[in-house]
Structure formats: structure tokens, C-alpha cells
Amino acid sequence: MKRDTKVVRGGLDKKRNAGAVNTPVVRASTVVFESVAAMREATDRATKKREKVLYYGRRGTPTHWTLQEAITELAGAADTVLAPSGLAACTLAILASVKAGDHILVTDSIYEPTRNFCAGLLAGLGVTASYYDPLIGGGIAALIKSNTTLVLCESPGSLTFEVQDIPAIAAAAHKAGARVAVDNTWASPLFCNPLALGADLSIEAGTKYIVGHSDVLIGAVSGTAEAITAVQIAAGSLGLAVSPDDAYLATRGLRTLAVRLARHQENALKVALWLQTRPEVKRVLYPALPEDPGHSLWKRDFCGASGLLGVVFKQTSGAAVAALIDGMELFPLGYSWGGFESLIAPLAPGGARSARPWAAPAPGIRLHVGLEDPLDLIADLDKGLARFQKAL
Ligand SMILES: Cc1ncc(COP(=O)(O)O)c(C=O)c1O
């Protein structure tokens, strides 16, 4: 099946759904059994054989399984573990891959709260993290130590948009016995398949494009048969649970992922090309643009670009960016992205970097280009840039 078909049909199970197209919301903590033997059998099948058997709500219900199976098919994975947020999916993938005394390599372009987790809780558990240049490719081999168990990539970075050479990184990591996990949120499982590129774990902040409507927090970790077991055990030990209502809404969002992303891509490209013509703009950070330094890797490894992009100005100031943002009509100011709507945020990624400084003039802006008419979005940005110029 092609990817667009998997988005629509993945995990659909007529028996599970009692005839309905969608798996109903099964709300359950307690599940009751006919006998002690039935209780034991269900528990063993669920915990030891990892079969999808309803035995206690925290371990998943049919509503969760439909979503898990759909993401698993799309990611080309052995299985998928759900987490209560995208950040929880990132920290879960890390925790499942380390023990005290281990070392992990993390891309310098990583989502900042994941970096904060490494500096705080993870360091407290006796695991060290060091950061690598996202453009390092196979050169990562020189940074791998005898106790390195994980390389954590995010490609492209959600603020600076560098595309990473995942096959080269995976080859070097595997040679040294380390696992590779990729935060794949920008592309979603539709536009990039990190496992096919050699990664062991693929992480999604489902909150963004999978849900697609800015109203649910959810995360997912998909993995190879070898790597996902550790994630399943870690999630079970931590007691992570996702509300079935949220799993239902995420599944509903997923069904339209292909049509939404096609439009996000079309609109974002129009906006990006227009921004490139503007005298205020130094660079548009968007790998689908031929001028982008990551374009050839993006073309090789991705089958589309989403709606998130960055803008670096030639000359800028906090006051000018605030004047631009505060007057926007169709780009409200907010965290997150991936919903149907356009959003804007100031972009100043330099502060968190350590391996490869980000020296571009800041602040810039980050745009999530939504599903509105691109001509309206461009008109809104045109007025915003006039305010920017006036306030410089
Ligand atoms: C690349 C990336 N990964 C992970 C996350 C975390 O997702 P959530 O907000 O669902 O915790 C975000 C959120 O902005 C993100 O941009």
C-alpha cells in the first residue's frame, strides 16, 4: 500500500470496531474477568506476549491500538508506543536507551525542552549528554565513546531547519553499537521514514500534524523489533498512559494527514518563495527551497515538506519583530504548530546552541503556514513587513 492509503486505512479493524468505521472511545481503567484463569490468561498474553488484550486501561484499549497500528504501518515499524505528549515521547525514547554511566549524543538543533531534560533529570540519573553539529553526517564516528548508547537526531530542527544525514549517522552509530532515534515531527511519518533510513526509533510529537487541529497533546515512539521492546518496558514501568479520547482524536486527525500536508506544503512553498523576494529577508529556512543547504539531503530522504519555516532578516531588532507580530491578523502568536491554522513566533535559536553556534541575525520569525488561502497569508505578511521596516 502507498503511504496515502496507509494514512486512511491503517489500523482499521472491522471486528474491533463492531461495524463502525472508527474504533469507538473505550474508556476503561478496570476490566473485569469471568474467572481467575481468564484474568491470568489475559494478563500473560498482554504482558509476556505483548498481544493486544484488554486487561487494564493503563496498558491500552482498542482505541489506542487502532492509532498505534496506523502509525506503525506508516512508520514501517515493528510497533508503536503512545505517550501523553511529544516531549514525553522524546524523554521516553531516551530513558529506554540508557542506564547510569552511559553517554548520549544529541543534535545541537534539538527541541529545547528535550535538551533541558538531558541537562536536568537525565544528568541526575548519571547519564551524560554531549551535543553535535547537525551537519556532521558520518563524522559523528569521532564523537562516539565506548559508553555512547544513543544518538538523538531531529531532522530538520524545528527552529534552525538543518537536515541531517541519517543514513551516515546510523551507519557510524551502529558500527559502535549505539542506537539512533530521530524526532521526526517536522516531516511526520508521511513525509519521512527514519526507520527506512537506518534509525532504530522514530519519534512523533503527534500534537502537531497527526492531530492537526491544535486541541490534543500526544506523542508516539515507533521502532524496530529490537529497539521497541525497551521502549514498551520503559513506558510500562513509568506508568505512562494516554487518554482514549485523545487517542481517538489523534486517529481522526491522522486520516486526513495526507490531504492536509499536501496543502501545507503548497502554501508554505508559495509563502517561502514570496519571502525570498523581499528586501528585508536574508534567508528563508525551508529545506524544500533549492537554495537551502539541506535541499539535496531533503530531496534524497523526504517525500515532502511541511508548513513550518523560519525567516532570518538582514537587519533586525526586538521592537521591529514585535511590531510585525503584534499586528498580524492571520498569524496569531503561539507556541506549537502543525494545526490547520497559521501561527507565528519570534525566532532566536542562538541561546541554546553549544556545538555549532547559530550566528544569524536575531530575532527572526518562525511561521507555521496553515490551510488558509496563501494570497491572504501573503497580504498579511506584506503588511507585517511594512510595520517591521517602520519600527527598525
Ligand atoms: C520538534 C518537536 N519535538 C517535540 C515537541 C514536543 O511536543 P509536545 O508539545 O506535544 O510535548 C515539539 C513541540 O513543539 C517539537 O516542536
In a domain, 67, yes or no: yes
Residue 40 known to be catalytic? no
Whether residue 198 has pLDDT greater than 90: yes
Question: Is 238 exposed, middle or buried, given 0-12, 13-18 or 19+ CB atoms closer than 10 A?
Answer: middle
The answer to whether the beta carbons of residues 162 and 135 sit under 8 Å apart is: yes
Residue 215 annotated to the active site: no
Separation of CA 82 and ligand 1 centre (Å): 14
Domain assignment present for 31 = no
Ligand 1 centroid, distance to 209 Cα (angstroms):
11
Predicted confidence at residue 19, as pLDDT, reads 87
Q: Is the CB of 185 under 6 A from ligand 1?
A: yes
Nearest to 165 by CA among 190, 140, 200: 140
Residues 104 and 142 in one domain: yes
**Does pLDDT of 31 surpass 90?**
yes
| Contact criterion met (CB below 8 Å) for 265 and 288 | yes
Residues 273, 386, single domain; the answer is yes
Mutate which of 111, 160, 221 for ligand 1 pocket (most atoms within 8 A of beta carbon) = 111
Question: Pairing relation of β-strands 201-205 and 281-285?
Answer: unpaired
Is the CB of 205 inside a 6 Å radius of any atom of ligand 1? Answer: yes
Residue 295 CA to ligand 1 centre (angstroms): 23
Instruction: Tell me the pLDDT tens digit for each residue of 287-302.
Output: 999 999 999 999 999 9
The average confidence (pLDDT) of the chain is 97
Q: Give the three cell numbers for residue 215.
A: 486541541
Q: Which of 6, 59, 111, 165 is catalytic?
A: 111
> Which residue, by CA, sits nearest to atom 15 of ligand 1?
111
Residue 247 belongs to domain spanning? 3-26+61-254
Q: Is residue 119 part of a domain?
A: yes
Please work out whether the CB of residue 316 comes within 6 Å of at least one atom of ligand 1.
Answer: no
Return the ligand 1 atom nearest residue 336 CA. Answer: 14
Is residue 45 assigned to a domain?
no
Specify whether 250 is located in the same domain as 273.
no
Burial annotation 172-199 (CB, 10 A radius, 16+ → b, else e): bbeeeebbbbbbbbbbbbbbbbbbebbb
pLDDT confidence of 390, banded at 50, 70, 90?
very high
- Judge if 143 and 284 occupy the same domain: no
Between the CA of 88 and the centroid of ligand 1 the distance, in Å, is 9
C-alpha cell at 315: 537587519
Return the pLDDT at 175.
98
Q: Are residues 336 and 380 in the same domain?
A: yes
What's 366's DSSP letter? E
Please report, for the domain that includes residue 191, its CATH number. Answer: 3.40.640.10
Q: Are residues 302 and 330 in the same domain?
A: yes
Provide the strand spans (E) within the chain: 79-83, 103-107, 128-132, 148-154, 179-183, 201-205, 219-223, 281-285, 308-313, 343-347, 364-368
Are 207 and 217 in contact, with CB atoms under 8 Å apart? yes
Find the CATH number of the domain harbouring 284. 3.90.1150.10
232 and 369 part of one domain? no
Whether 46 is in a domain gets the answer no
What pTM does this model have?
Answer: 0.97
Residue 208 annotated to the active site: yes
Domain count within the chain: 2
- Pocket residue to mutate for ligand 1, from 112, 158, 188, 221, most atoms within 8 A of Cβ: 158
User: Atom 14 in ligand 1: which residue has the minimum CA distance?
Assistant: 336
Q: Is 149 exposed, middle or buried (0-12, 13-18, 19+ CB in 10 A)?
A: buried
pLDDT (average), residues 232-237:
96
Residues 6+ apart with CB under 8 A from 153: 107, 134, 164, 166, 169, 180, 181, 182, 183, 194, 199
* Domain final residue pick, 207, 235, 254: 254
Ligand 1 atom with minimal separation from the 207 CA? 10
If asked whether residues 234 and 295 sit together in one domain, one would say no
- pLDDT over 90 at 16, yes or no: no
163 in contact with ligand 1, CB cutoff 6 A: no
* Interatomic CA distance for residues 336 and 127, integer angstroms: 29
Looking at the fold, whether 370 and 383 belong to one and the same domain comes out as: yes
Task: Choose the final residue of a domain: 230, 254, 278.
Answer: 254
Q: What is the mean pLDDT of residues 168-181?
A: 98
Q: Does residue 50 lie within any of the structural domains?
A: no
Query: Which residues partner with 182 through β-bridges?
Result: 153, 202
Residue 51 lies in a domain: no
pLDDT above 90 for 93: yes
CA-based R_g, the chain, Å = 22
Determine phi and psi for 344, rounding to 5 degrees: -135, 155
- Report the percent of the chain where pLDDT is more than 90: 96
Q: Residue 137 — φ and ψ, nearest 5°?
A: 55, -135
Instruction: For 124-166, write each residue's pLDDT tens digit.
Output: 999 999 999 999 999 999 999 999 999 999 999 999 999 999 9
- Burial pattern 81-100, b for ≥16 Cβ within 10 A else e, equals bbbbbbbbbbbbbbbbbbee
Cβ atoms of 179 and 150 closer than 8 Å? yes
Does residue 340 carry a pLDDT above 90? yes
261 with 247, same domain?
no
- pLDDT for res 14: 80
Question: pLDDT at position 326, please?
Answer: 98
User: 193 with 269, same domain?
Assistant: no
Distance CA 304, CA 312 (A): 22
- For ligand 1, the distance from its centroid to the CA atom of residue 55, given in whole angstroms, is 31
* Residues 64-78: b if buried by 16+ CB within 10 A, e if exposed: bbbbbbbbbbbbbbe
* Domain final position from 233, 254, 275: 254
Tell me what pLDDT residue 159 has. Answer: 97
Catalytic residue among 4, 16, 45, 58: 58
pLDDT digit string (tens) for 98-121?
999 999 999 999 999 999 999 999
On whether both 386 and 264 belong to a single domain, the answer is yes
What pLDDT shows up at residue 351? 87
What is the Cβ-side half-sphere exposure of residue 220, based on CA atoms within 13 angstroms? Answer: 34
Q: Among this protein's residues, is 246 annotated catalytic?
A: no
Report yes or no on 38 lying in a domain.
no
The per-residue pLDDT for 28 is 96
Q: Does residue 350 surpass a pLDDT of 90?
A: no
- 113 grid coordinates: 525542552
